[in-house]
């Protein structure tokens, strides 16, 4: 056997997997494309027309590096949010920001608290930097357990805790007052990652007012969901100025593409399009819930751009239903954690694709039942 450079023991111990198997990989495996792509929490309604125009205008300048300070986008975000530019850091999506955050606060072996079944990319970064993941089951209302998370943080002395509100994968949410009480209950030495990727599609009552005086809270938001720029990768974190300044020590300053910066700025400036998308998302959630009811199933209330549907059985039954849908060319996903796994998860999208889901669901359920 030839010799080869040795990986670090930590990297050697990790599996060579990704948190999600993308629809493209599944299509390659299937040998044919999906008929409906409604499983990745993407926004199939698409971005503002201003985005395509801005990208086309900027494309000839792709030979230039991006602005490493993300100045114009941070300035526009600061003006919209009513905070200072020094309170915002921009990077290539929340996924990148999660990795940079874990790198800053988690020593190898340190406990990191999250919910069992919550966003797995966060867990991926915790493992990648040698943290010890401590998970808390969801409460009986299919929401992350705020009290359970606080108890685990205090018991473990955790330097970092993750909460998504609204939630992925269930689509549920806590009201702002509950989130504020959760923040107040955390030790000042514990950093909270409050993932608000679906904030634009949530009721206003779910988002606490921005408070950039707390050093231990990072609010993370994205252009991937309501703004429909998932393929361009742009997210941002809001926090206290010294907390944000620490990102400059370790982030990839040229990690944003120039076109992503241009696209995000154009999307941000078209708030009329955003308002229209939010309305269409809400209507499509109702449409998906109606399809579930027509089939004797229950859709969980959702504040996101997807709907979790309780299939009325256990995790094996929901998995069979999902597999039957996928075999029929309907790309959907499902939670995998115990209790949550009784559901499938359907993203909003154009009516033509939702109609295909409505047509495919009854035979998929029959197949899952063995009929």
Rounded distance, CA 88 to CA 97, Å? 12
Q: What is the pLDDT along the chain (371 residues), one digit of tens a residue?
A: 678 999 999 999 999 887 788 899 999 999 999 999 999 999 999 999 999 999 999 999 999 999 999 999 999 999 999 999 999 999 999 999 999 999 999 999 999 999 999 999 999 999 999 999 999 999 988 999 999 999 999 999 999 999 999 999 999 999 999 999 999 999 999 999 999 999 999 999 999 999 999 999 999 999 999 999 999 999 999 999 999 999 999 999 999 999 999 999 999 999 999 999 999 999 999 999 999 999 999 999 999 999 999 999 999 999 999 999 999 999 999 999 999 999 999 999 999 999 999 999 999 999 999 96
Rounded distance, CA 296 to CA 361, Å? 11
Q: Pairing between strand 330-331 and 36-37?
A: parallel
CATH 3.90.1150.10 is the classification of domain 9-46+272-368: yes
- Please say whether the beta carbons of 256 and 73 come within 8 A: no
Work out the angle at residue 207's Cα, subtended by the Cα atoms of residues 304 and 149, and round it to the nearest 5 degrees.
Answer: 85
Q: Left if phi > 0, otherwise alpha if psi is -120 to 50, otherwise beta: which for 339?
A: left
Rounded distance, CA 79 to CA 88, Å? 11
Instruction: Check residue 371 and give its pLDDT.
Output: 62
Nearest to 324 by CA among 285, 368, 281: 368
At residue 362, the 3 state secondary structure works out as: helix
Domain locations in the chain as residue ranges: 9-46+272-368, 49-270
DSSP string, 94-157: HHHHHHHHHHHH--TT-EEEEETTS-HHHHHHHHHTT-EEEEE---TTSS--HHHHHHHHHHHT
- Please say whether the beta carbons of 200 and 225 come within 8 A: yes
Residue 158 tokens, joined = 């955790």
Q: Could you tell me the fold of the domain covering 49-270?
A: 3.40.640
Residue 183 tokens, joined = 């923040």
Instruction: Check residue 16 and give its pLDDT.
Output: 87
């Amino acid at each position: 056997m030839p010799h080869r450079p040795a990986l670090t023991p930590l990297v050697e111990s990790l599996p060579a997997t990704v948190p999600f198997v993308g629809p493209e990989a599944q299509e390659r495996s299937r040998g044919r494309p999906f008929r409906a792509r409604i499983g990745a929490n993407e926004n199939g309604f698409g971005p503002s027309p201003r985005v395509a125009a801005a990208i086309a205008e900027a494309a000839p300048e792709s030979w230039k590096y991006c602005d490493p300070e993300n100045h114009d986008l941070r300035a526009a975000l600061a003006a919209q949010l009513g905070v200072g530019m020094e309170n915002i850091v921009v990077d290539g999506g929340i996924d990148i920001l999660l990795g940079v955050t874990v790198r800053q606060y988690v020593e190898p072996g340190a406990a990191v608290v999250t919910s069992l079944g919550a966003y797995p990319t966060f867990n991926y970064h915790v493992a990648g930097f040698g943290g010890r993941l401590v998970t808390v089951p969801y409460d009986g209302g299919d929401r992350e357990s705020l009290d359970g998370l606080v108890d685990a943080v205090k018991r473990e002395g955790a330097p970092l805790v993750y909460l998504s509100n609204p939630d992925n994968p269930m689509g549920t949410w806590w009201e702002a007052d509950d989130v504020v009480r959760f923040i107040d209950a955390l030790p000042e030495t514990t950093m909270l990652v409050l993932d608000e990727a679906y904030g634009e599609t949530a009721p206003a009552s779910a988002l606490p007012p921005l408070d950039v005086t707390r050093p231990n809270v990072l609010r993370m938001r994205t252009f991937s969901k309501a703004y429909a720029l998932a393929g361009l990768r742009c997210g941002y974190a809001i926090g206290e100025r010294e907390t944000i300044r620490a990102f400059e020590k370790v982030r990839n300053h040229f990690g944003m593409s120039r076109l992503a910066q241009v696209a995000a700025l154009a999307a941000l400036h078209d708030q009329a399009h955003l308002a229209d998308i939010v309305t269409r998302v809400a209507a499509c959630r109702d449409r998906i819930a109606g399809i579930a009811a027509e089939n004797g199933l229950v859709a969980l209330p959702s504040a996101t751009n997807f709907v979790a549907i309780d299939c009325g059985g256990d995790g094996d039954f929901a998995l069979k239903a999902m597999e039957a849908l996928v075999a029929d060319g309907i790309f959907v996903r499902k939670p995998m954690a115990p209790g949550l796994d009784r559901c499938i998860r359907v993203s909003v999208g154009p009516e033509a694709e939702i109609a295909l889901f409505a047509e495919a669901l009854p035979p998929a359920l029959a197949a899952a039942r063995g009929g």
